[in-house]
Structure 1
Amino acid sequence: MTQKAVIFDMDGVLVDSEKLWKQAEKEIFSSLGINVTDEDSEVTKSMTTTEVSEFWFNKSPWQNKNLDVVEQMVISRVMELITTEDCKINGVKEFIEKLKSNNYKIGLATNSPYKIIPTVLEKLEVTGLFDAVSSAEFEEKGKPDPAIYINTAAKLNVAAKNCLVIEDSHSGMIAAKKAGMTVIAFTNGNPLINFDIADFTINQFDDVAINKVTSYGLICSK
């Protein structure tokens, strides 16, 4: 039997964290005297945390703190917010459990820093369900570069063609497509994102979604 895997993006798929990143970004960079606008936050939302810090520093250089320190301030604040706020995506734990019962390996591939991953998995009570986790922190480039997905498939020991990726961002979908994987767009009721690149969509983590994913997996393995 061909081994199959489902690889999850993290922010916006496992946890509704975009608002938390935006809050942390505003708090930390405003404290450094920067005018953090919604327009600029839209530009930074698909970046890695290193790229975000560089973006704001280039826009309005601050004194007395190096980039690494400021980046860690943002990360620490996001971790606090994930722990304290209601940010779980409905049904995702049960969804992952059902995939495991259908003999899928489970992976995680995120542009977020590695140290945030355990906080998210503990929040959802799914730590033991993941067979491999990856952060773009350890790649030369984050999404839309495909490296993180290629390397996650290698960790899982599953061929790229047998990996299904659940993503909510266009850059993430591009990365998965470049890696040669099947792309499932998680819409979560969001009408603003272009999901055309995806092979199919799921609106929420429910039995309809499980049936779509497992049925597609059976078709692809024939």
Structure 2
Amino acid sequence: MKKAALFDMDGTLVDNTPAHLRAFSVFCDRYGIRDWAEKLKGVYGMGNEDIMRRILPEEVIRTKGIDALADEKEAIYRELYAPEIHPIEGLRALLDRLRTSGIRCAVGSSGCMANVEFVLQHCGIDDCFDARISGDRVSRCKPDPEIYLRAAEALEVAPADCVVFEDALAGIESARRAGAGRIVALATTLPRETLLDEGHPDRIIRTYAEITDEDLTQIFS
């Protein structure tokens, strides 16, 4: 039976929430938006269209367009984050162990493909993923299950044979609705207590360095 690992990106491959928040601060300041931080609560893991509609006035959206606004914000994020980007501790070692075990990997992110490629290339892990599904290549973003269903399909495995690594409640819901076999949550974006009480993942970790060989066998059993 083939097994696979599906990884979210933001907060899961990289601990980049602070960088996104800095980018939102710069972006929203351009449009005179002051209450963006409060509006962002509860949208972690969702796609740019949902986020932009949450924080921007309809007039701005009509004038500029969702896609152009999202591209503008993500360009700010990549410029700010490039000098400091690095993978979450233990990620590369875990990816190497998965490859040695014959477990294929995919990225399933609500972020745009430009951000996915940016993260994989700057972290030196581009060669570790057999498929990548991004929010701008699907019709519905998380918490809809489409991203993870398509990621499993791209790897030619059943969702039930996939372990999903996530950091956001929307992503955990997406994985669960897709029928993922197991869900491992990273306590990067949200506190461990929130993940436990509201997400109910199978396991919670802070970094991949916590996963022993015994853990790996159990997670993918």
Query: Structures share a fold, TM > 0.5?
Result: yes
Alpha-carbon distance between aligned partners in 1 of 2:210 and 2:40, rounded to the nearest angstrom: 35
- Which letter does structure 2 place at the counterpart of 1:167? E
The residue aligned with 1:15 is 14
Query: Larger deviation: 180-189 or 52-61?
Result: 52-61
What is the percent sequence identity of the aligned residues? 24
Alpha-carbon distance between aligned partners in 2 of 1:133 and 1:210, rounded to the nearest angstrom: 26
Given the superposition, is the C-alpha separation of residues 37 and 69 from structure 1 closer, same or farther in structure 2, using an over 3 Å criterion? closer
Query: Within the alignment, does 1:166 sit opposite 2:169 as a pair?
Result: no
Alpha-carbon distance between aligned partners in 2 of 1:165 and 1:151, rounded to the nearest angstrom: 13
Given the superposition, is the C-alpha separation of residues 45 and 53 from structure 1 closer, same or farther in structure 2, using an over 3 Å criterion? same
Q: Secondary structure at the match of 1:103?
A: coil
Query: Within the alignment, does 1:203 sit opposite 2:206 as a pair?
Result: yes
Q: CA deviation at 1:171?
A: 1.2
Given the superposition, is the C-alpha separation of residues 210 and 72 from structure 1 closer, same or farther in structure 2, using an over 3 Å criterion? farther
Query: Larger deviation: 78-87 or 12-21?
Result: 78-87
Residues matched between the structures, number: 217
Query: Within the alignment, does 1:184 sit opposite 2:187 as a pair?
Result: no
Given the superposition, is the C-alpha separation of residues 169 and 111 from structure 1 closer, same or farther in structure 2, using an over 3 Å criterion? same
Alpha-carbon distance between aligned partners in 2 of 1:104 and 1:172, rounded to the nearest angstrom: 21
Q: Secondary structure at the match of 2:204?
A: strand
Query: Larger deviation: 86-95 or 63-72?
Result: 63-72
Q: Secondary structure at the match of 1:195?
A: helix
The residue aligned with 2:194 is 193
Alpha-carbon distance between aligned partners in 1 of 2:29 and 2:43, rounded to the nearest angstrom: 15
- The answer to whether the Cα contact below 8 Å between 1:17 and 1:87 also exists between their aligned partners in 2 is no
Structure 1-normalised TM-score? 0.88
The residue aligned with 1:80 is 79
- The answer to whether the Cα contact below 8 Å between 1:107 and 1:132 also exists between their aligned partners in 2 is yes
The residue aligned with 1:55 is 54
- The answer to whether the Cα contact below 8 Å between 1:26 and 1:36 also exists between their aligned partners in 2 is no
Structural RMSD (CA): 2.2
Q: CA deviation at 1:210?
A: 4.5
Given the superposition, is the C-alpha separation of residues 87 and 126 from structure 1 closer, same or farther in structure 2, using an over 3 Å criterion? closer
The residue aligned with 2:217 is 214
Structure 2-normalised TM-score? 0.88
Provide Cα deviations, 1:24-79, integer angstroms capped at 9, x if missing partner. 11111211111144312224434311222222333674786333322211011112
- Please list every run of 5 or more consecutive structure 1 residues that lacks an aligned counterpart in the other structure: none
Q: Secondary structure at the match of 1:108?
A: strand
Alpha-carbon distance between aligned partners in 1 of 2:220 and 2:42, rounded to the nearest angstrom: 35
More relative contact order, 1 or 2 (CA 8 Å, 6+ apart)? 2
Q: CA deviation at 1:90?
A: 1.3
- Please list every run of 5 or more consecutive structure 2 residues that lacks an aligned counterpart in the other structure: none
Query: Larger deviation: 78-87 or 145-154?
Result: 78-87
Q: CA deviation at 1:201?
A: 2.5
